[in-house]
Amino acid sequence: MPKKRKSSGRSKGGKGRSELVQCTNCGMLIPRDKAKRVTSRYSLVDPVLARELRASGAYIARQATVKYYCVSCAVHFGVAKVRSREERRRFS
Protein backbone atom coordinates (compact mmCIF):
# COMPACT_ATOMS: atom_id res chain seq x y z
CA MET A 1 0.00 0.00 0.00
CA PRO A 2 1.33 3.49 -0.79
CA LYS A 3 2.57 5.63 2.04
CA LYS A 4 0.67 8.93 2.25
CA ARG A 5 3.20 10.92 4.29
CA LYS A 6 6.94 10.54 4.83
CA SER A 7 6.51 11.26 8.55
CA SER A 8 3.39 9.08 8.92
CA GLY A 9 1.65 12.24 10.18
CA ARG A 10 3.85 12.53 13.25
CA SER A 11 6.89 14.53 14.40
CA LYS A 12 8.38 11.61 16.30
CA GLY A 13 11.65 11.12 14.44
CA GLY A 14 13.69 8.32 16.01
CA LYS A 15 12.38 8.72 19.57
CA GLY A 16 10.40 5.50 19.81
CA ARG A 17 6.95 5.42 21.37
CA SER A 18 5.57 8.76 22.54
CA GLU A 19 3.07 9.30 25.33
CA LEU A 20 -0.65 9.57 24.69
CA VAL A 21 -2.77 12.66 25.32
CA GLN A 22 -6.52 13.00 25.33
CA CYS A 23 -8.32 15.12 22.73
CA THR A 24 -9.96 18.10 24.43
CA ASN A 25 -13.07 17.77 22.31
CA CYS A 26 -13.85 14.07 21.82
CA GLY A 27 -11.61 12.40 24.41
CA MET A 28 -9.78 10.18 21.90
CA LEU A 29 -6.29 9.06 22.96
CA ILE A 30 -3.67 10.16 20.45
CA PRO A 31 0.15 10.32 20.46
CA ARG A 32 1.43 13.67 21.73
CA ASP A 33 3.51 14.27 18.59
CA LYS A 34 0.50 13.73 16.33
CA ALA A 35 -1.93 15.88 18.31
CA LYS A 36 -2.55 19.47 17.27
CA ARG A 37 -1.62 21.68 20.24
CA VAL A 38 -3.37 25.01 20.76
CA THR A 39 -2.20 27.41 23.48
CA SER A 40 -4.43 30.31 24.39
CA ARG A 41 -3.96 32.91 27.11
CA TYR A 42 -6.73 34.63 29.01
CA SER A 43 -6.84 37.18 31.79
CA LEU A 44 -8.62 36.49 35.08
CA VAL A 45 -9.25 40.23 35.52
CA ASP A 46 -12.27 42.04 34.04
CA PRO A 47 -11.23 43.89 30.83
CA VAL A 48 -12.44 47.31 32.06
CA LEU A 49 -10.56 46.93 35.34
CA ALA A 50 -7.50 45.56 33.51
CA ARG A 51 -7.36 48.68 31.31
CA GLU A 52 -7.39 50.95 34.35
CA LEU A 53 -4.74 48.89 36.14
CA ARG A 54 -2.52 48.85 33.04
CA ALA A 55 -2.84 52.64 32.77
CA SER A 56 -1.58 52.95 36.34
CA GLY A 57 1.43 50.73 35.50
CA ALA A 58 0.35 47.42 37.03
CA TYR A 59 1.36 44.06 35.56
CA ILE A 60 -1.58 41.74 34.94
CA ALA A 61 -0.72 38.05 34.72
CA ARG A 62 -2.55 35.91 32.20
CA GLN A 63 -3.38 32.23 32.50
CA ALA A 64 -2.25 29.91 29.69
CA THR A 65 -4.47 27.00 28.67
CA VAL A 66 -3.23 24.18 26.48
CA LYS A 67 -5.64 22.14 24.39
CA TYR A 68 -4.80 19.05 22.38
CA TYR A 69 -6.96 18.11 19.39
CA CYS A 70 -7.02 14.90 17.37
CA VAL A 71 -6.69 15.44 13.61
CA SER A 72 -10.40 15.10 12.88
CA CYS A 73 -11.41 17.60 15.60
CA ALA A 74 -8.63 19.99 14.53
CA VAL A 75 -9.97 19.98 10.97
CA HIS A 76 -13.53 20.43 12.23
CA PHE A 77 -12.61 23.45 14.38
CA GLY A 78 -10.35 25.01 11.73
CA VAL A 79 -7.10 24.48 13.67
CA ALA A 80 -5.71 22.41 10.77
CA LYS A 81 -6.66 22.68 7.11
CA VAL A 82 -7.29 19.94 4.59
CA ARG A 83 -4.43 20.20 2.09
CA SER A 84 -4.08 18.98 -1.47
CA ARG A 85 -1.70 16.15 -2.36
CA GLU A 86 0.93 18.60 -3.68
CA GLU A 87 0.78 20.69 -0.50
CA ARG A 88 1.10 17.59 1.69
CA ARG A 89 4.24 16.56 -0.22
CA ARG A 90 5.94 19.89 0.51
CA PHE A 91 7.95 20.16 3.70
CA SER A 92 5.91 21.83 6.46
The residues spanned by each domain of the chain are 20-84
Residue type, 85: R
C-alpha dihedral sign at 65, 83, 33, 21: positive
Return the H-helix or E-strand segment holding 40: strand 36-43
Q: Specify the pLDDT at position 73.
A: 96
**Please, what CATH class does the domain formed by 20-84 belong to?**
alpha beta
What global pTM score does this model have?
0.76
pLDDT tens digit sequence for 37-69? 999 999 999 999 999 999 999 999 999 999 999
